[in-house]
Structure 1
Amino acid sequence: MGASFVYVFIFLLTLLLYVFLRKNKKESQQIAKLPPGSMGWPYIGETLQLYSQDPNVFFAEKQKRYGEIFKTHFLGCPCVMLASPEAARFVLVTEAHLFKPTYPKSKERLIGPSAIFFHQGKYHTRLRRLVQGSLSLDAIKNLMGGLGAIAASTFDSWAGGHVVNTYQEMKKLSFDVGILIIFGNLEARYREELKKNYLIVDKGYNSFPNNIPGTRYKMALQARERLTKIISDIISERKEKKLIEKDLLGCLLNSKDENGQILMVDQIMDNIIGVLFAARDTTASAMTWIVKYLHDNPKLLEAVKAEQNAIRRQNDEANQPLSWSQIRNMPLSSKVVLESLRMASIISFTFREAVADVEYKGYLIPKGWKVMPLFRNFHHNPEFFPDPQKFDPSRFEVAPKPNTFMPFGNGVHACPGNELAKMEMLIVIHHLVTKFRWEVVGTESGIQYSPFPVPMQGLPARFWKESSN
């Protein structure tokens, strides 16, 4: 009788425990629910809606309907969109270890799986330290002359009043800057081969990924193999000549970790190609917008010209080039750069992936879901930037509220080359406004995405060299 009672007691206790745990599980699921939003059609989700309209309108309408955190489904992935600075900081800074960088495998294959963008943890920290070291303020001071020469040579090729595609030309300029920071003064034969094959990779980067011969993606993969061979030859030549350079390649070649391990050649190559990608299109897009915004604001252009011509006259009298101290003392031009980055929001959003179930403000972000902080949404939020559609550099006379302005991202994966990019833009402004006048061709306005936002048709324009100032 006693034994039977014990068995019944254990059974009832187990049953009660089961009911209690099940109830708690349901309650926890109710507490942490998925964010509001629509997942669209099976598999394709809302991809068609996103790409059939201005993506900014798509995201703005979602935010208006659902709030600052909402779910959607596109490019085959369930996603959580975050449209507040606090949420972006949560993902990129305070809880960054819970969200890994993520890219489509097809893009990883073209850049290289060992590139810094695709990693977190120890390896990422090591690579970031190396890249930041080669792009530190002290390091980029020594690039002033080289950047100035590239800008002057590029603009001279535009002179004469013929129509140029501003964006495509700025991409050429940024590519040459990328070559300079990675390889230093590289031989012309290597530079031309790198450029030729990089352009093929670039054309295939956003194409449909397949291995059918003759397709853009297949040709990009083949060009990627040729890039590997070219970089390998450059590395072999450096080792043979025992050259110790202070450029990025030199930093990567001479790096040793705490155990004395050097980087593998494949790791070096992937990161070189990755930096070329990072250095080119985004900066070129920003510089194209600067040309447009200055053109569209004549009074502002005259004020910027006055600032830059004062510097030019000072240098002409002393027979000296543009200096680092002068770059650091261009108050109006610096605000033009910042406002251009805000208005254009070249990086409209970034991709992360939850590595575990994460709860944020009562919402569940399931493991494996993509998470996208929407930088453009808070760059264009009137709460943080009054009259956000107006180009107004004076708004940066006061620092923006914390976490509301992230043109280079935030946290451990923020762009390590942001100081170089800003310096490049200021050098371009200096050479452009002191030596040239220009007019935009055509009346078509708007934005096209390729994939970064640029003025329509790449901003066709005519440039003439000023005879005097």
Structure 2
Amino acid sequence: MDIFYSPMHTFLLIFSILFYLLMRKQSNNNRSLQGKLPLPPGSMGWPYIGETFQLFSQDPNIFFPSRQERYGEIFKTHLLGCPCVMLASAEAARFVLVSKAQLFKPKYPRSKERLIGPWALFFHQGGYHAIVRKLVQSSLSPESIRRLVPDIDAVASATLRSWDGHMLSTFHAMKEMSFDVGILIIFGEHLSKQRKNEIKRNYFIVDKGYNSFATSIPGTAYSNAIKARKRLGEILSEIMEERREHKTMEKDLLSCFLEWKNDKGERLSDNQISDNIFGVLYAAQDTTASVITWMVKYLHDDPKLLEAVKAEQMSIYKRNGCGSQQLQWAHTRKMPFTQRVISESLRMASIISFTYREAVADVEYKGYLIPKGWKVMPLFRNIHHSSEYFPDPHKFDPSRFKASPKPNTFLPFGNGVHSCPGNELAKIEMLVFIHHLVTKYRFEVVGSHSEVEYSPFPIPKHGLQVRIWSTEQADGIAE
């Protein structure tokens, strides 16, 4: 054992010394900038890997607050091979995402950009970003979603019918449902079943490899994801060609992309459209599925909360022919308590713990230097769980949303020009699903539901295993 570890220890010692000298030189160079401003306090962790292991192995409710308590609202660390500055206040979030947004560009690891596609909306800023965001917003605006509520209702109903009498992972079932809603938004109602299944099969291969170790070794999850992403691009190109050939234009996101042209007659390329379609599909899935999973857990854990939501939804259910008619937009506007439950679930769960930006120049913030090229991460979770903004922050309390939160303190969909354009769609999806769940079904969580896992979003252990019955079946069993 000693013979094996001795060379390793020597290597680590030499590597650590070189890393320390490099960081010290970088620190000294940075101190010469902006009037010799100091770097924020904090630990850079181990050489190269920094604190990456701690970030992805610890409860985010421990990792982030422990460092904020030790260093304050601004601190440095080293994650995924990059030096980072973390900001844990509403004021700081506004500084990065709104007031000085031009100094911080969106930046994601290259391996992730490659899988989603370099032209995707959330990798850009400036003119191109403004064009694509406007197109996406037009397809995801309240006016556009209004006409899709019955279709979303049909998807949610079908999902729950497939659950009836079974035990399954809430998270994975919700990913399937969110995928179907995403397909509806992007392609409308006229995508063939064969096309949809092919897109679905390849999409979930990409999804599986998205957070895996990036390697081109054949057979690995990432390598398989690259191949599946290429095939998705080919499928999307075939669909675009068919629409152009048959001059078939629908009221969906794909048609918005295909029809757009600027004053010079220039159009979006197939690669640009393909990357943005995949980006929207990806963004619409995991986060929504995660939040619904947490909502099911919160409802299960608090019978009084469940009864209050059920009372509101049953009132709508009875007025709507006891489920004989599909939900409409007007029905979703009469769910104020359920809306507050959704907001509190978004705050408590804080699925997106932080967002990535990169400083495009040396920036001063509260007497500290944020060096050019460093990653900057506003910590949404810390803000959402701060007693300064939300009294008794670890208590699930929907009543806190009877009034609007203070500006920049509630950021489940981000803020500024890069905030999520699909937030209204996500909320409608949650409202419709919860309506059907509490009015037509009974459910119970199976096994432990106090543990949390990260995939990479925090979700209850095993995706929250749930057994579900229709109320008709449950009543028959009771008799």
Change (3 A) 1:34 1:234: same
Which residue number corresponds to residue 20 of structure 1?
none
Shift of the 306–326 alpha-carbon distance from structure 1 to 2, 3 Å rule, reads same
1:169 is aligned to 173
CA distance in 2, matches of 1:315, 1:457: 36
How many Å apart are 1:447 and its aligned residue? 1.7
Structure 1 residue 444 displacement after superposition: 4.2
Q: Which residue among 184, 188, 204 is the counterpart of 1:184? A: 188
Q: CA deviation at 1:28?
A: 4.8
User: Structure 1: 5+ residue runs without aligned partners?
Assistant: 1-24
**Residue 29 of structure 1: how far off its partner (Å):** 3.3
- Residues 442 and 361 of structure 1: is their aligned pair in 2 closer, same or farther, counting only changes over 3 Å? same
Give the C-alpha shift of residue 259 in structure 1.
Answer: 2.2
In the alignment, the residues of structure 1 paired with residue 68 and residue 137 of structure 2 have an alpha-carbon distance, to the nearest angstrom, of 35
Q: 1:29 aligns with which of 17, 35, 45?
A: 35
Partner of 1:109: 114
Distance 1:324 1:53 in 2: 41
Tell me, in whole angstroms, the C-alpha distance in 2 between the residues paired with 1:334 and 1:444.
Answer: 24
Structure 2 regions of 5+ residues with no counterpart? 1-30
1:372 to 361, 377, 382: 377
What SS does the corresponding residue of 1:181 show, helix, strand or coil? helix
2:253 to 232, 248, 256: 248
Query: Which amino acid counterpart does residue 48 of structure 1 have in structure 2?
Result: F
Contact in 1 for aligned 2:448/2:461 (Cα 8 Å): no
Distance 2:75 2:92 in 1: 12
Deviation for aligned residue 1:258 = 3.0
Distance 1:318 1:42 in 2: 59
Quick check: 1:78 aligned with 2:96? Answer: no
For residues 103-156 of structure 1, the C-alpha deviation after alignment (integer angstroms, 9 at most, x for no partner) is 111111110000001100000000000000011111001111110000000000
Which residue is 1:331 aligned to? 336
SS of residue matched to 2:85:
strand
Shift in alpha-carbon separation, 1:318–1:457, aligned structure 2, 3 A: closer
Q: What are the residue-to-residue correspondences of 1:202-217 with 2, within 5 Å? A: 202-217=207-222
Aligned pair count?
A: 443
Equivalent-residue separation in structure 2 for 1:310 and 1:212 (angstroms): 56
Indicate the residue corresponding to 1:413 in structure 2: 418
Q: Partner residue of 1:258?
A: 263
Partner SS, residue 162 of structure 2: helix
Q: What are the residue-to-residue correspondences of 1:259-408 with 2, within 5 Å?
A: 259-316=264-321, 320-408=325-413
Alignment-mate amino acid for residue 401 of structure 1: K
Q: How does 1:130-209 map to 2 (within 5 A)?
A: 130-160=135-165, 162-185=166-189, 186-209=191-214
- Name the SS of the counterpart of 1:439 in structure 2: strand
The normalised TM-score by structure 2 is 0.90
SS for the counterpart of 1:461 is: strand
SS in 2 for 1:307: helix
For residues 368 and 413 of structure 1, the distance between their equivalents in structure 2, rounded to whole angstroms, comes to 19
Distance in 2, matches of 1:27 and 1:169, equals: 52
* Percentage of identical aligned residues: 65
What is the rounded CA distance, in whole Å, between the counterparts of 2:436 and 2:32 in structure 1?
64
Q: Deviations over 1:316-356 (max 9, x none)?
A: 07964212111012011000100000000011100000000
Aligned mates of 2:122, 2:340 — CA distance in 1: 29
Q: Contact between 2:78 and 2:84, CA under 8 Å: does it hold in 1? A: yes
Letter in 2 for 1:172: E
Provide runs of 4+ in structure 1 moved above 6 Å: none
Larger Rg: 1
Mapped to 2, the partners of 1:318 and 1:425 lie a distance apart of: 17
SS in 1 for 2:313: helix
Per-residue displacement from partner, 1:185-208 (whole Å, max 9, x unpaired)? 111010000000001001110111
Q: Is 2:188–2:252's contact at 8 Å kept on the other side of the alignment?
A: yes
Deviation at 1:49, TM superposition (A): 2.8
| One-letter code aligned to 1:362 | G
**Matches of 1:310 and 1:94 in 2, distance apart?**
44
* Amino acid across the alignment from 2:168: V
Alpha-carbon distance in 2 for matches of 1:208, 1:458: 22
Match of 1:90 among 95, 111, 122: 95
Root-mean-square deviation (CA, aligned residues, Å) is: 1.5
| Aligned residue number for residue 118 of structure 1 | 123
Partner of 2:27: none
Q: Note the alpha carbon deviations across 1:155-206, whole angstroms, 9 max, x for none.
A: 000011x211110000000000000000011110100000000010011101
Offset at residue 27 of structure 1 (A): 9.3
Amino acid at match of 1:163: M
> What secondary structure does 1:408 align onto?
coil
Partners of 2:63 and 2:292 in 1: how far apart?
26
> Normalization by structure 1: what TM-score?
0.92
